[in-house]
C-alpha cells in the first residue's frame, strides 16, 4: 500500500515564541497544502534538542530518530523538505542521514533549501525588501546571516551584491561567523552619509543570534558596535519564517520536489 509523507527538517531553536511563528508555521503550511500526507518533524541541532528535553521536557527527534518512526508507520514514499537557508553543513549531514536509510523506501526526494538558485536569491531579497519598504531611503538596512566554513557561504556575498543590483544601495548582507563580516559592512557604510541603521536577522528564527549577537546590550553585539560608531540603531526581531513571502518559497520548493 502506497503511503507518502513529508519530513520537515530544521536546525531548531530554544526560543518557543519564535518557533511558533516560524518552524511551526512552515510545517502547518505544509499540512494545509498536502492534507493527505503526514508531516513529520526533525531537527539537526543536537544541542538544542538536548536543551529542550532538559528545560521544557519537549522531545524533538533527530533525523535518524524521525526516520525510524516514519518506517514504523509504513511510509513508502518520502519527501524531505529542509527549512535550512543554504546548502551548507547541516543540509549535507541531513541528506547523508536520510540516504543511509534509502533502501527502506520506494522513493526518497529532497526539496531544496531556501537559497539554492539565483532565482531563489532574487525572490527572497525581493520579498524581504517589500516587508521593509517603509524604511526611509536615507536609512541603511543591514541583514545578519549566520555564515559558515562551508563553501556555500559564498551565497552571502552574492546576496549583498544582488541587493545593490536590485536597486538598494543602502542594504547590506553580513554574517556573524564568516564573510562578509561586520567589518566589511562598516567599511561600506563609512562611504555614505547614513545616520540610522536597521538591523534584521537573516535567519529562519529570531533566536539566540538575533537576540544576543545582534540586538543585545553586550559590547560586542552588532547593535552596540553600530551605536559606538555613532549610528542610531533600530532592531527588527523577526525571523525569515515569519514572512509569508518567504514561507511561500519553501512551499514552492516542496511542490517542485513532489512533482519531480
Helix extents (H) in the chain: 16-21, 23-33, 46-56, 63-72, 89-99, 118-131, 154-165, 182-189, 208, 222-228, 244-259
Closest CA to 7 of 54, 58, 71: 71
Catalytic residue among 84, 146, 209, 253: 146
| 35: its cell numbers | 492534507
Bridge-based pairing of strands 107-110 and 77-82 is parallel
Closest CA to 135 of 165, 168, 176: 168
Which stretch of DSSP H or E encloses residue 40?
strand 38-43
Q: Is-contact 30 39, C-beta < 8 A?
A: yes
Residue 146 designated active-site: yes
Could you tell me the sign of the dihedral formed by the alpha carbons of 27, 118, 177, 201, in that order? Answer: negative
Q: Give the N- to C-terminal CA distance of the chain in Å, as an integer.
A: 21
Q: Let me know: does 48 contact 23? Beta carbons within 8 Å.
A: no
CA-based nearest residue to 148, from 203, 99, 196: 203
| CA–CA gap between residue 136 and residue 210 (Å, rounded) | 23
Q: What positions carry a catalytic annotation?
A: 146
Amino acid at each position: 500500500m502506497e503511503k507518502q509523507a513529508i519530513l520537515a527538517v530544521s536546525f531548531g531553536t530554544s526560543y518557543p515564541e519564535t518557533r511558533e511563528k516560524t518552524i511551526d508555521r512552515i510545517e502547518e503550511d505544509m499540512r494545509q497544502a498536502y492534507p493527505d500526507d503526514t508531516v513529520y518533524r526533525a531537527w539537526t541541532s543536537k544541542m538544542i534538542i538536548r536543551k529542550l528535553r532538559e528545560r521544557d521536557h519537549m522531545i524533538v527527534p533527530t533525523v535518524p530518530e524521525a526516520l525510524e518512526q516514519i518506517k514504523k508507520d509504513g511510509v513508502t514514499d518520502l519527501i524531505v523538505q529542509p527549512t535550512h537557508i543554504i546548502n551548507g553543513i547541516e543540509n549535507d549531514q541531513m541528506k547523508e542521514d536520510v540516504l543511509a536509510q534509502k533502501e527502506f523506501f520506494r522513493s526518497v526526494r529532497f526539496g531544496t533549501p531556501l537559497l539554492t538558485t539565483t532565482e531563489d536569491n532574487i525572490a527572497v531579497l525581493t520579498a524581504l525588501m517589500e516587508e521593509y519598504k517603509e524604511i526611509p531611503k536615507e536609512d541603511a538596512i543591514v541583514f545578519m546571516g549566520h555564515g559558515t566554513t562551508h563553501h556555500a557561504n559564498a551565497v552571502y556575498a552574492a546576496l549583498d551584491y544582488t541587493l545593490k543590483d536590485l536597486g538598494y544601495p543602502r542594504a547590506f548582507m553580513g554574517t556573524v561567523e564568516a564573510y562578509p563580516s561586520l567589518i566589511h559592512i562598516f567599511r561600506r557604510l563609512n562611504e555614505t552619509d547614513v545616520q540610522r541603521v536597521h538591523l534584521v536577522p537573516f535567519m529562519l528564527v529570531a533566536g539566540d543570534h538575533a537576540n544576543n549577537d545582534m540586538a543585545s546590550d553586550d559590547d560586542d553585539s552588532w547593535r552596540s558596535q553600530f551605536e559606538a560608531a555613532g549610528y542610531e540603531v533600530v532592531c527588527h526581531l523577526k525571523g525569515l519564517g515569519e514572512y509569508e513571502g518567504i514561507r511561500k518559497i519553501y512551499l514552492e520548493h516542496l511542490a517542485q520536489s513532489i512533482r519531480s
